Structure 1
Amino acid sequence: MRILISGAGEVGNHLAKLLSNEDHDVILMDEEESKLRPAAQHFDVMTVVGSGTSIEDLKNAQVKTCDLFIAVPPYEEESILSAMLAKKLGAKKTFARINNFEYLHEENKEYFRQLGIDELIFPEFLGALEIIASLKQVGIRQMFEFSDGQLLLYAIKLRSNAPIVGMTLSQAASLHSTNEYFTVAIVRDGKTIIPRGKDMFLHNDLAYVVTTKSSAPHLLADAGKISQEVKNVMILGGSRIGKKVAKDLESQYHIKIIEINKEKSNRLADMLENTLVINGDGRNLELLKDEGLGKTDAFIAVTGNSEVNILACQLAKKMGVIKTVAEVENMDYIDLAENIGIGTIINKKLIAASYIYRHTLKANVSYVKCLTATDADVLELIAKKDSKITRDILKNLDIPKDVNIGGIIRNKGVIIPSGNTQIIPDDKVVVFALPSGVKKIEKMFL
C-alpha cells in the first residue's frame, strides 16, 4: 500500500514508524525539513518537503498514486483542507485529524465525506473514551471491551499478594472447572512475552488477560484485586480530554476539574453543569490537599505536560488514591510511568495510530489497538469462509509463536478458547500479536 502522511509532528512520525515496519510504501511530507530528518534517518520512508495545502506540492509527492492519505498537521483547518485536496487529486482514501467533537455527529461526518474526507480522527475524543472505560474497573491498568462488554481484555499488574503469582498458566487455569480467562501476553522487565502453559506468573508482571463479563470477578480474585467503587473523581487539566471526560461522567460521579488558566476555567464552569471547576495550579500540593485529593477515588492528570501528569499521579498514589490516569505524550516517558506504577497511561499518538492502522490491513479487521506498555497490538479479526484459520482445531493449526488467540465472539455468545476450539466463518476473533506476528496471523484470516 502506498501511504502519504502530511505532517511530521509526533503523530505523523509515529505513524511513519509503525507503517514502514509493515512493508508499506510510506511518504512523509512537511514544510519544515528539520522535522523530516529523524524519520529519514531512522525509518524506511521517503521524505518530501512541502505543504499539504499546496496543490503543486501534493502533485510532486505523487498523491494521485496513493492508496491512503493521512493529514495530521498541527492545525485542524490545514488537516481538513489538505485531505480535501488530496482526494480531488486522486488519493483513494483520506483521513483528517480534527479537534472539534461536533464534526463526529453522523450527519456532519456525511458532510465531510461529500467533501472528500473518508475518515475523521479525533485522538482526544478516543482518549477520553479510554479513560471512561478504565474507571469501570478499579485495580486494572487498562480495559478494552468487545461485543458490548461480553468479552474483555484487562491489563493487570500482579503483586506478590496475588494467588496466581508463582503458578504456571496451566496451574492457574486448573483453579476453575471451565476456561475463565486466557493470558495472551505478559510484560516483564520491559519485554513482551507471548506465554504458553508452562510459563509462570511473577511479581511485577503486567498481564494481558482476556475474560468474559461473567468470569471477570474470578480473574480479579485470582490476581489479588479488590473491587472498589469510584464515586469522587478529580481531573487535573481542563484540556479537550478532561472536558470530554467530565461532560460524560458528571451525572454519575462527583467531579472536580483543576485548571490553571482562568479564562478556560470560566468557560468550563459555564459549559459543565454538575462539575466543580477550580482555578488553580495543580502542581501546588497544598491546593490538591485542600481540594480533597486524599478522599478522591480516581485522579486523572491530562495537562499538556507529561512530567506534570506523572508527578501528580505519583502524589495521588502516595495519598491513597486507588485509581490514577496520566496522559503521557512523550514516548520516552511511557516505560518510566509504567515502571513506577502510575496506573492507566493515555497516549494520543498510539490512539491515532490504532484507528488508522486497521485500514492498512487486508484481512477483515473490526478493531485494532496499539498498546502503551508494550509494542504489541490487539486485533479483532473476522474469519472468512475457507480461510486457513477455520480449517482445523487451534492446536492443529500452525499458529505463529508471536501470536495468541484470546477470545472468540460467535453470534451473541463468547468463547475463551482452548487447543480443541475450532474457529468457524464469521467468528470475531480477538488476537494479541507482536509486530512480527501481525502479517502472519492476518494471512490465516484471508
Structure 2
Amino acid sequence: MKVVIAGAGAVGTHLSKLLSTEHHDCVLIDDDEDRLGGMDSNYDIMAVNASPTSIKTLKDAGVGSADLFVGVTRYESRNITACTLAHALGAKKTVARIDNYEYLSPQNLPFFHDLGIDSLVYPEVLAATDIINGLKLSWVRQRWDVHDGALVLLGIKLREGCEILNQPLKDLCGPDDPYHIVAIKRNNDTIIPGGMDELQLHDLAYFMTTSEYIPYIRKIVGKEHYEDVHNVIIMGGGKTAVRAALTMPDYMNAKIIEIDAARCERLNQLLASNDAMVIHGDGRDLGLLNEEGIRHTQAFVALTGNAETNILACLTAKKLGVRKTVAMVENLDYVSMAEGLDIGTIINKKTVAASHIFQMMMKADVRNMRSLMMVEADVAEFVAAEGSKVTRKPVKDLGLPFGITIGGLVRDGKGILVNGNTQITPGDSVMVFCHKHQLEKAEKYFKKSLLW
C-alpha cells in the first residue's frame, strides 16, 4: 500500500516509522530539512524536502497512485489544502489533522467530504477522551467503550486482594462468565492468553466485559476500596487540558495549574462557560499543591510538554496521597519507565492519532482501532463482511493465528462475549486483539471473499 504523509512532526514521523516496519511504500514530505532528519537513511521511507501544498511536489511524490494521503503538518489550513489537492490528483483516501473543534461536528463532515477529505483527526481531543475515560474509573489504568458501552475494555493492574490470581483462565472465563481476559502485560512480556494461562500478582490485565458487569469486575480484582474521582488537579494548560476540562462529567471538579500568566488569561476565556478553576503557578510546587487541596484530590493529571516533568509530578502527587495519576508522555522511550514507576494512566497523542489514521489503511471494514502501548498489542473493531471467512465456522474452528484472539462482538446493539462455540454473522462488530504487527493477518478473516 502506498501512503504519502505531509508533515514530519511527531505524528508524521511516528506514523512513517510504523508504516516502514509494516513494509508499506511510504513518502514523507516536509519543507524543513531538519525535521526530516535522515528519515530516509534510517528507515525504508522516501523523504521529500519540499512544500506539501505544491502541486508539482505532490505529483512527484506519486500522490496520484496513493492509497492514503495524510496531512499532519503543524498548520490546520495547510493540512486541509494539501488533502484537497491530493484528492484532486487521485489519492484514494485523505485524512487531515485539525485543531478546530467545530470541524468535528457531524453536520460539518459532509462539507469536508465534498472537499475530498475522508477523515479529520484532532489528537488533543482523542487524548482528552482517553483521559476522561480513565478518570471515570479510578481503579482502571485504561478504559475503552465500544458502541456506547455495549462492550467495555478495562486495563487493570492486579494487586493483593485480587480474587482471580493463579487460576487457569479456562476455569475463570467460561461461556457463562461475564468477562474475558484478552491481553496481559507481565514484566516486559505481552501475552495474548489461552485457557491454561494464569493471572499473576502485578500483571496488567485487559478485561473485556459489558457495562453492567463493571461493578463485578471491580469486586473480583479487589478494587472496591478505591475512592471515585471527584476532584482533579491538571498541571499544564494546553489544548489537551482544555478539551479534558470541557468534556469532564458534571460531578468532577477541575483545577488547572498553568505556569504562564498569558496562557492563564487565555484559559479563563476558553473555559468561561465551565466550572474549571485556573491557577497561575508551578504544578511542581509542593506548597501550592497543598494550598490547592492535593490531599483531598483523587486524581492528578500532568499534561505539560515535558515527559520528565509530567512523570516526576505524578510521583510527587502519589507521595502526597493521590491514588489516580495520569501523565502525558510524548517520548515513547519513557513509556516503559513511566510504567515501571507505577504511573497510572499514560497518554501519548501521536500513538492515538496514528492508530486512528492506520485504521483507514485496512481493506476490511474497521470502525475503530487502538494501540495498547503498555502491552505492545493492538485492538480493532472489525465488521464481518458477507461471505468473509470469520462467518463460516464457529470461532474455535477458524484457525486464528497465534497471538490473535476475539474478545467480544456487538450484534443489534447488544454486547456479547465470544467463546469457542460462538458463530459470528455478517454485520457483527467484532473486537480483535493481537500482538503488534499482526492486524493484517486478522484482517484477512473479515474481508468479503468468495474464495477460501
Question: Structure 2 length normalisation: TM-score?
Answer: 0.94
Match of 1:239 in 2: 238
Matched, 1:21 2:21: yes
Whole-angstrom CA distance in 1 between matches of 2:17 and 2:157:
28
Whole-angstrom CA distance in 2 between matches of 1:91 and 1:406:
35
- Equivalent positions of 1:87-102 (< 5 A) are 87-102=87-102
Whole-angstrom CA distance in 2 between matches of 1:408 and 1:356:
23
The one-letter amino acid of 1:384's match is A
Quote how far apart the aligned CAs of 1:397 are: 1.7
The one-letter amino acid of 1:211's match is T
- Equivalent positions of 1:220-235 (< 5 A) are 220-226=218-224, 228-235=227-234
Range moving further from structure 2, 243-252 or 60-69: 243-252
Deviations along 1:305-338, one digit per CA (max 9) or x if unpaired, are 1111111111111112121111111111111111
Match of 1:189 in 2: 187
CA distance 1:243–1:392, shift in 2 (3 Å)? same
Whole-angstrom CA distance in 1 between matches of 2:397 and 2:341:
41
- Equivalent positions of 1:97-136 (< 5 A) are 97-136=97-136
Quote how far apart the aligned CAs of 1:382 are: 1.0
Give unmatched runs, 5+ long, in structure 2. 448-452
Quote how far apart the aligned CAs of 1:37 are: 4.3
Whole-angstrom CA distance in 2 between matches of 1:301 and 1:80:
31
Deviations along 1:396-430, one digit per CA (max 9) or x if unpaired, are 22011110110111113222122121111111110
Calculate the aligned-residue CA RMSD, in Å. Answer: 1.8
Match of 1:442 in 2: 443
Quote how far apart the aligned CAs of 1:38 are: 4.6
Identity %: 45
Quote how far apart the aligned CAs of 1:18 are: 1.9
Task: Decide whether the 8 Å contact of 1:159 with 1:165 is kept in 2.
Answer: no
Matched, 1:150 2:150: yes
Task: Decide whether the 8 Å contact of 2:145 with 2:151 is kept in 1.
Answer: yes
Match of 1:50 in 2: 50
Deviations along 1:23-61, one digit per CA (max 9) or x if unpaired, are 422111222334334532343222222220222222221
What's the secondary structure of 2:418's corresponding residue?
Answer: coil
Match of 1:74 in 2: 74
Task: Decide whether the 8 Å contact of 2:2 with 2:24 is kept in 1.
Answer: yes
Task: Decide whether the 8 Å contact of 1:250 with 1:275 is kept in 2.
Answer: no
What's the secondary structure of 2:73's corresponding residue?
Answer: coil
Task: Decide whether the 8 Å contact of 1:350 with 1:371 is kept in 2.
Answer: no
CA distance 1:320–1:9, shift in 2 (3 Å)? same
Whole-angstrom CA distance in 2 between matches of 1:91 and 1:386:
28
Match of 2:450 in 1: none
Whole-angstrom CA distance in 1 between matches of 2:426 and 2:31:
47
Whole-angstrom CA distance in 2 between matches of 1:166 and 1:190:
19
Quote how far apart the aligned CAs of 1:243 are: 0.8
What's the secondary structure of 2:155's corresponding residue?
Answer: strand
Match of 1:5 in 2: 5
CA distance 1:279–1:208, shift in 2 (3 Å)? same
Task: Decide whether the 8 Å contact of 1:250 with 1:274 is kept in 2.
Answer: no
Quote how far apart the aligned CAs of 1:385 are: 2.1
Range moving further from structure 2, 56-65 or 105-114: 105-114
Task: Decide whether the 8 Å contact of 1:181 with 1:416 is kept in 2.
Answer: yes
Whole-angstrom CA distance in 2 between matches of 1:353 and 1:106:
22
Task: Decide whether the 8 Å contact of 2:31 with 2:49 is kept in 1.
Answer: yes
Quote how far apart the aligned CAs of 1:392 are: 1.6
Whole-angstrom CA distance in 2 between matches of 1:116 and 1:442:
26
Deviations along 1:56-115, one digit per CA (max 9) or x if unpaired, are 222221222212110111222322222222223332222111112122223433333333
- Equivalent positions of 1:14-413 (< 5 A) are 14-173=14-173, 178-226=176-224, 228-249=227-248, 251-272=250-271, 273-413=274-414
What's the secondary structure of 2:228's corresponding residue?
Answer: coil
Matched, 1:429 2:430: yes
Whole-angstrom CA distance in 1 between matches of 2:50 and 2:203:
45
Whole-angstrom CA distance in 1 between matches of 2:40 and 2:187:
30
CA distance 1:110–1:385, shift in 2 (3 Å)? closer
Whole-angstrom CA distance in 2 between matches of 1:421 and 1:90:
42
Quote how far apart the aligned CAs of 1:250 are: 6.6
Task: Decide whether the 8 Å contact of 1:346 with 1:372 is kept in 2.
Answer: no
Task: Decide whether the 8 Å contact of 2:183 with 2:375 is kept in 1.
Answer: no
Whole-angstrom CA distance in 1 between matches of 2:326 and 2:312:
11
The one-letter amino acid of 2:421's match is N
Range moving further from structure 2, 281-290 or 103-112: 103-112
Give unmatched runs, 5+ long, in structure 1. none
Whole-angstrom CA distance in 2 between matches of 1:366 and 1:250:
26
What's the secondary structure of 1:341's corresponding residue?
Answer: coil
Whole-angstrom CA distance in 2 between matches of 1:389 and 1:41:
40
Task: Report the count of equivalent residues.
Answer: 444
Whole-angstrom CA distance in 2 between matches of 1:266 and 1:228:
33
Whole-angstrom CA distance in 2 between matches of 1:150 and 1:119:
25
Whole-angstrom CA distance in 2 between matches of 1:57 and 1:412:
46
What's the secondary structure of 1:214's corresponding residue?
Answer: helix
CA distance 1:388–1:107, shift in 2 (3 Å)? closer
Whole-angstrom CA distance in 2 between matches of 1:43 and 1:225:
44
Range moving further from structure 2, 80-89 or 126-135: 80-89
Quote how far apart the aligned CAs of 1:182 are: 0.7
What's the secondary structure of 1:431's corresponding residue?
Answer: strand
Match of 2:420 in 1: 419
Question: Structure 1 length normalisation: TM-score?
Answer: 0.95
The one-letter amino acid of 2:10's match is E
Whole-angstrom CA distance in 1 between matches of 2:9 and 2:382:
30
